[in-house]
Amino acid sequence: MERSDLAVSCRGLVKRYGELVAVAGIDLEVRRGECFGLLGPNGAGKTTTMEVLEGLLTANDGAVEVLGSRWGGDDRALRERLGVQLQETQLSEKLTVRETIRLFRSFYVRGREVGEVIRLVELDAKAKARVGKLSGGQRQRLALACALVCDPELLFLDEPTTGLDPQARLSVWRILERYRQTGGTVLLTTHYMEEAARLCDRVAIIDHGRIIALGSPAELVASLGADQVVEVRARGEVAPETLAGLPGVSGVTAVDGSLRLAVREIGTLLPALLNELERHQASLEKLTTHEATLEDLFVYLTGRELRDDD
């Protein structure tokens, strides 16, 4: 009988590497059956947080509870119930898909049939192929299979789709949705806001080892107080403050020489915006608009893009 309906809870989590503070006080609660996402840029502390929760690292401070237990007790019993996919494990290239899954299956008392897991991750055609000959997306699905083979109550996934093309990403999402239908809990990290928005019931945005926003994707986007984002670049002097006063604008952020306006009513804003630019004799170079996303929230909160590449 579980006392709580929390799959993971941690309070005041701190992890330092010498001088560097990788995790600077994180509080998290992941409910059973929920898909929870940690969204953040490179070096935000996502992996460090996950590895503390997985019992691989010991925190400098804070309390962690996973499926109602703390690390340092009967860890093997706890590990029976967890599926984990680490950020950068390279499985043995010389083994086949089936051999690899069979090995991981042998570590657990309970779990799924090897063939069933292969089907679950859609690798039937590759069951006899060497791991070294798999594509990136197939390897990722194999890693997922190794995490799912114990039929875990809780799944930790560290960047399950980083570096994958959109099609491979979709197939990972499909597999996760199937797992969730069986009542499983997921804690995942990602840099992709579409991924967080699509998969997660709740998302914590992490930056510099802290949670800077927490809620369902819809709530988070709504907290911008806008449904559209207008990006403007103009030649000439336009102060962010002047644009902030325009009708329908709920916030302005300067990013890389352009201004991003969070906008409630785009219809009333656009004429006013063009007027204002003309009044300052600034010539318009670029004007784009899109629906507000988690990415915009991150930019609004930090003044930086979530991803510095691609």
Partner 1 sequence: MMIDNARFRRLRPLAELTRVRMLEFIREPEAVFWVFVFPVLLAVALGIAFRAKPVSSLEVAVAAEPAAASRIEALLHGAPGLRVHLMGKAEADHALRSGRVDVVVEASGVGEGMPQDVTYRYDPTRAEGRAAHLAVDAALEKALGRTDVLEAHEERVSRHGSRYIDFLIPGLVGLNLMGSGLWGLGFAVVSARTRKLLKRFAVTPMYRSHYLLSFMLSRLLFMVLEVAAIVGFGWAAFGVRVNGSFAALAVVSVAGAMTFAGVGLLVAARPKTIEGVSGWMNLVMLPMWLLSGSFFSYERFPQIVQPVIRALPLTALNDALRLIMNAGSPLAATWSQLAVMALWALVSFALALRIFRWT
Please give the residue ranges that form the binding site for Mg ion (CB under 5 A). Answer: 46-47, 87
Question: Binding partner of residue 106 among partner 1, Mg ion, ligand ATP, none, CB under 5 to 8 Å per kind?
Answer: partner 1
With CB cut-offs between 5 and 8 Å by kind, which of partner 1, ligand ATP, Mg ion, none does residue 107 bind? partner 1
H or E element that contains 173: helix 166-181
Smallest CA-to-CA distance from 83 within 162, 213, 182, 203 is with 182
DSSP H or E run through 261? strand 258-263
90 binds, among partner 1, ligand ATP, Mg ion, none (CB under 5 to 8 A by kind): partner 1
- Minimum Å distance from CB 271 to partner 1? 56
Confirm if 248 and 263 have CB atoms less than 8 A apart: yes
Smallest distance from Mg ion to CB 190, Å = 10
Give the nearest distance from C-beta 122 to ligand ATP in angstroms.
Answer: 26
Work out what residue 1 binds among Mg ion, ligand ATP, partner 1, none; the CB cut-off runs from 5 to 8 Å by kind: none
Instruction: List interacting residues with ligand ATP (CB under 6 A).
Output: 17, 20, 22, 40, 42-48, 87, 191
User: Which H helix or E strand runs over 301?
Assistant: helix 294-302
Token pair recorded at residue 289: 């608009």
Give residues in contact with partner 1 (CB under 8 A): 54-57, 76-77, 79-80, 82, 84, 86, 88-92, 94-95, 99, 102-104, 106-109, 146, 150
d(CA 294, CA 310): 17
Provide, rounded to whole angstroms, the least separation between the CB of residue 168 and ligand ATP: 19
Phi, psi (rounded to 5 degrees) for 272: -65, -40
State the minimum distance, in angstroms, from the CB of residue 186 to ligand ATP.
17
The site partner of 42 among Mg ion, partner 1, ligand ATP, none (C-beta below 5 to 8 Å per kind) is: ligand ATP
Q: Which two tokens stand for residue 79?
A: 């590990």
- The token pair at 60 is 């400098």
How many CA atoms within 13 Å lie on the side-chain side of 58? 3
Helix (H, G, I), strand (E, B) or coil at 247: coil
Largest Cα span, the chain? 73
Using CB positions, name the residue nearest to ligand ATP. Answer: 47
Binding at 48: pick from partner 1, Mg ion, ligand ATP, none (beta carbon under 5-8 Å per type): ligand ATP
Phi, psi of 252 (to 5 degrees): -130, 135
Closer by beta carbon to partner 1, 83 or else 248:
83
